[in-house]
Structure 1
Amino acid sequence: MLVYENQFPVKSPFKFPQEVHQHIMDIIDASPTSQFFCHLATEIPNIYVYLFEHNPLEAYTICHIFSCDQIGEDYTYQSLSSSQIHMMDQFVLKANLT
C-alpha cells in the first residue's frame, strides 16, 4: 500500500476529475496544522482516494473519502471520524462480514 504523507501526488497513475483534485487541495489548504496521509486505490473503473487528516492540536482525525470513475466528471465525497471508522470495523467483525 502506497501512502503519501503531507502531499497529494501531482502525477497520479489514475485519471480522475479535476474537481476531485481541487476539493482535496482545498481541504489541505484549509488545515495548515493538520498532517495528511493519502492513499489512492482502484477497482476498475472506480478510483478511491482516502485522505486522512490528523490534527493533534485540535484532537481530531478525519478520513475524507472520494470515489469517482475514469469516465465522467462526477464524484462522491464522504468524511468519517476515526471513531466512526472504528465503529464500522467493529460492526463488520461482529456481524462476521469479513
Structure 2
Amino acid sequence: MLVYENQFPVNCFTLLPVDVKQHIMGIVDASPTSQFYCHVTTEIPNVNVYLIEHNPSEIYTICHFFSYDQIGEDYSYQSLSSNQINMMNQFVLQANIT
C-alpha cells in the first residue's frame, strides 16, 4: 500500500474529477498546520480516495473519504474522526464479521 505524506500522487491526482480535486484542495488549504496522508485505490470503474488529516497542534485526526465511478461526474464524501473509525473497527471485530 502506497501512502503519500503531504503530497498527492501526481498520476492519480491529475485523473480525479475537477469537483473532487477542488474539494480536496479546499480541505488542505483550510488547514495549513495539518499533515495529510493520501491513498488512492481503483477497482474499475470505482475510485476511492482516502485522505487523513492529522493536526497534532490542535489535537485532532479526521479521515476524509471520496468515492466516485469513472462513468459520471457525481462523487460521495464522508468524514469521520479517528475515534469514530476505531469504534467502527471494534464494532466489526465484536460482530465477528469478516
TM-score normalized by the length of structure 1: 0.94
In the TM superposition, residue 44 of structure 1 has moved relative to its aligned partner by 1.6
RCO higher in structure (CA 8 A, sep ≥6): 1
Q: How does 1:15-34 map to 2 (within 5 A)?
A: 15-34=15-34
List alignment gaps of at least 5 residues for structure 1: none
Alpha-carbon distance between aligned partners in 1 of 2:19 and 2:9, rounded to the nearest angstrom: 15
Report the equivalent of 2:67.
67
Report the equivalent of 1:49.
49
Task: Output one character per residue of 1:6-27: Cα deviation in whole Å (capped at 9) or x when no partner.
Answer: 0122321884311101110110
CA contact (8 A) 2:13 2:21 kept: no
Tell me which amino acid in the other structure corresponds to 2:85: I
With over 3 angstroms needed to count, the CA separation of the structure-2 counterparts of 1:22 and 1:13, relative to structure 1, is closer
TM-score normalized by the length of structure 2: 0.94
Residue 36, structure 1, aligned to residue 17, structure 2: no
With over 3 angstroms needed to count, the CA separation of the structure-2 counterparts of 1:14 and 1:48, relative to structure 1, is farther
List alignment gaps of at least 5 residues for structure 2: none
With over 3 angstroms needed to count, the CA separation of the structure-2 counterparts of 1:19 and 1:13, relative to structure 1, is closer
